[in-house]
Every structure is written in C-alpha cells, then in structure tokens.
Amino acid sequence: MVQEFDKVGVVGLGTMGAGIAEVFARAGFNVIGVEIDQAALDRGRGHVDKSLSRAVSRGKLTEEERAGIDARLSFTTSREDLADADFVVEAVPERMAIKRDVFGDLDRICPPGTILATNTSSLSVTEIAALTGRPDKVVGLHFFNPAPVMKLAEVITTVSTSAETVDIVTEVAKRIGKTPIAVGDRAGFVANALLVPYINDAVRLYERKVASREDIDAAVQKAAGLPMGPLTLADLVGLDVCLAVMDVLWDEYRDPRYVAAPLLRRMVAAGRLGRKSGQGFYAGTEDQPEPRPTGRFAEMIREEETLDLGEILIAPQIDDAMRMIGDGYASARDVDTAMRFGCGYPEGPTELLEKRGAESVVTTLVAMGEYGLTSVTVPAPLLMDRLPDAEEGSGQGGGGCACHG
C-alpha cells in the first residue's frame, strides 16, 4: 500500500515541519507543504532551501538530486489543496487549540482513507484522534530534530488505531529512511520521557550549586560518551520545550520524579529559552565563565567516593529506563534504539547498565537518596533484580541497600 502513496501533506513548516517535508521529498514522495499565511510559507520554504543547499555544499546531494527533490515539493496556504492527499503529517505548534483546528479541517477535507499523523512530542495522540471521525486512521509519528538527520521515528498508537494503520505508518517510516519503534500513547513516549527528566536533573544540580555548568556537562560527556552535556542540550532543545514535557509528565504521573526544577521554570518565565532566544545556560553568557562552586554539595561531590558527578546524571535515567521496560511499555531494544537514534547516544540505557553493572547504579541511586539528590526512593524492581545477590534474596533485589552499606 505504501507503494501506492503519491501525495503527502505536511501542515506546519517551522523548523521541524520543513525538515519532515524534505525527508518525504527526498524519499520520492510528492509533498505539499501547508502554512497559515504567505509570510509563514515563505519562511518554511526558506528552511527547506537552506537545508538542501547545505546538503549540496557538503557533497551529500548532487545538483541533479536537489532538482528532483525541488520538483516534488510544492507549497500552499490552503489546506483545501490536501483534498487528494494519501498521508498527512501535522507539525503545528504544541497547543491543542491549534491542533483541534487543523485536524477538524483535515478530517473534513481529506478522503476517508487518508491517514492523519501528528508529530506531537507532548500532547495526547488519543485526544487528537478523538477530534476526527476516523480515529482508527490517526497515529503519532514523532520525528527528532533535525528531521533530515536524526534516524528515529516514534510511531504512537492509541486504543483506536487499527493494526493496518500501524503497519502502513511503520513501513512509511522505513521507506523515508527512519528507524521506527511502535509504542502506545503515554506522556513523553520513550525518548522524551527518558531525556527530559535527565536534563531536568542536571538543572537541579546546577541550581543547588553541586557543580558548575561546565563541570556537569563535562562529567556526563565523559561518563556516557555523549556528544554534548545536558545543559548544552537544554539550550539547543529549548528550555520552554523541556518545561512543557516535564509538566506533561507531571500531569500524567503525579510523581515527584517529574517535578520541573524551579530554576527551569524561572528561566522560561524570564524568556531565557536557550539558543532560540539568545539566552540560556550558555547562550548569551559566552564571556562569563563561572567560578568553581564551593557549596556543601560541591565539596561533598569532590570528597565522597560513592558520588561521582557523571554517574549522578546517568543513574536516574537508567532507573527510568528499567521502570519503562518493567512496565511493559517498551522493550530494552526499543529503549536503546530511541536513545541512540533519537538523542545521539553512542549507547542506550540498558547498554550503559551492562557496562556499569547493576550494583554500581543502585549504589549511586541509594547514595543520592541519602543526600537528597534524587526523588527516587527505591530503585526500579527490574534494576534490583539484576543485583548479584538478587536470586538469593526475595526476587525483588532485596540486597540492593546492602550493597551501599
């Protein structure tokens, strides 16, 4: 059925939507990009042109290939032009009122067989599907920025999504060069539910003057081999995006683990959103190196052998991943795939766990709890089950606390 697709619509041509349109056009689909007015349309077209020109200049596209992609792209300010679309991806701002308007129009305009996908990263796909008369044909298709580069695509299903729709969307994701994982509709899905609390943890450590922003980032890069540290990543992603995801996680779970760091909320309120606003943890402060923290927690980190700064940002994320796997929401393979292909991790959380060993991770979590550096009171059962003495204990990893002692 994928082979029969001819026309793909992309509604919303911001940085992400423009990237999605480019991805589909590169894969051979005829794509029509839709924006709300001519000014927004021109900006969206500019995003695509800039990306393709960059690819040509770097030798990743020939001029002939670029011309072919351009020929498959068209742009409009009228959603009515999607009347013969086979597949539509919505990539408008993350506000339900806007999505309600878009999906109401798409449901009215598009043929009954058209699959409608939302690129939402934080809103309920189930609620979006309920806005239409075809909930069986509505699915989440979550791309990662920059869409032409990042290989992960999360396919989000609802209780109403048909198996046929899931199969088709998964195959579409593969055809456009992505590595898909299919999971249910749950706050944060896989990647954001693991990545954003990790960023939030780093903000909290920075706020409590446990270490400087540079030391926090350098420690995590060294510990996990990441291309950038969490505070640098926060500036790149956008502090407003991080806060929105944390609030969605809190609304769904009401777990202290998902309470946004007060500093994160204050920075967003002040308009310090990272690179997009020119001010963040680093943005706008390039000439202002920070002094070495001298507070109680900073001294504790330097002196306490059981507390390594890099492990303190890594261990809670591994615990989150093990809870996700233990809940049956995602497999270990899907979790690692999400973090490697969606977040640029050289190794996924379960791979990091294998390298460190459960005892080391649990020791770090317990020590963090004793010093009030985490809201995790008991490590994930699946993590405790991996302790060396778990088989001799209760089956719930009862020896976990003993390893700290």
Long-range contacts of 220-223 (CB under 8 A, 24+ apart): 220/309, 220/310, 220/313, 220/314, 222/310, 223/308, 223/310, 223/311, 223/313, 223/314
| Active site members | 121, 142, 154, 192
Residue with tokens 């976990």, as numbered in its chain: 400
Torsion angles phi and psi, residue 154, rounded to 5: -90, 120
Q: How far is CA 52 from CA 57, 91, 213, 341, in A?
A: 9, 20, 35, 22
How would DSSP label each residue in 55-87? HHHTTSS-HHHHHHHHHHEEEES-GGGGTT-SE
Residue 203 burial by Cβ neighbours in a 10 Å radius (0-12, 13-18, 19+): buried
SS3 assignment, position 215: helix
Residue 59 burial by Cβ neighbours in a 10 Å radius (0-12, 13-18, 19+): exposed
Residue 402 CA to its chain's centroid (Å): 35
Would strands 7-11 and 179-184 be described as parallel, antiparallel, or unpaired? unpaired
Cα–Cα distance for residue pair 69/314, rounded to 1 Å: 41
Cα–Cα distance for residue pair 307/181, rounded to 1 Å: 34
The contacts of residue 223 (CB under 8 Å, 6+ apart) are 308, 310, 311, 313, 314
Contact 313, 198 (CB under 8 A): yes
Cα–Cα distance for residue pair 292/130, rounded to 1 Å: 52
Contact 401, 366 (CB under 8 A): yes
Contact 196, 242 (CB under 8 A): yes
Helix axes 63-72, 15-26, angle to 10 degrees: 110
Contact 113, 69 (CB under 8 A): no
Residue with tokens 């050289």, as numbered in its chain: 346
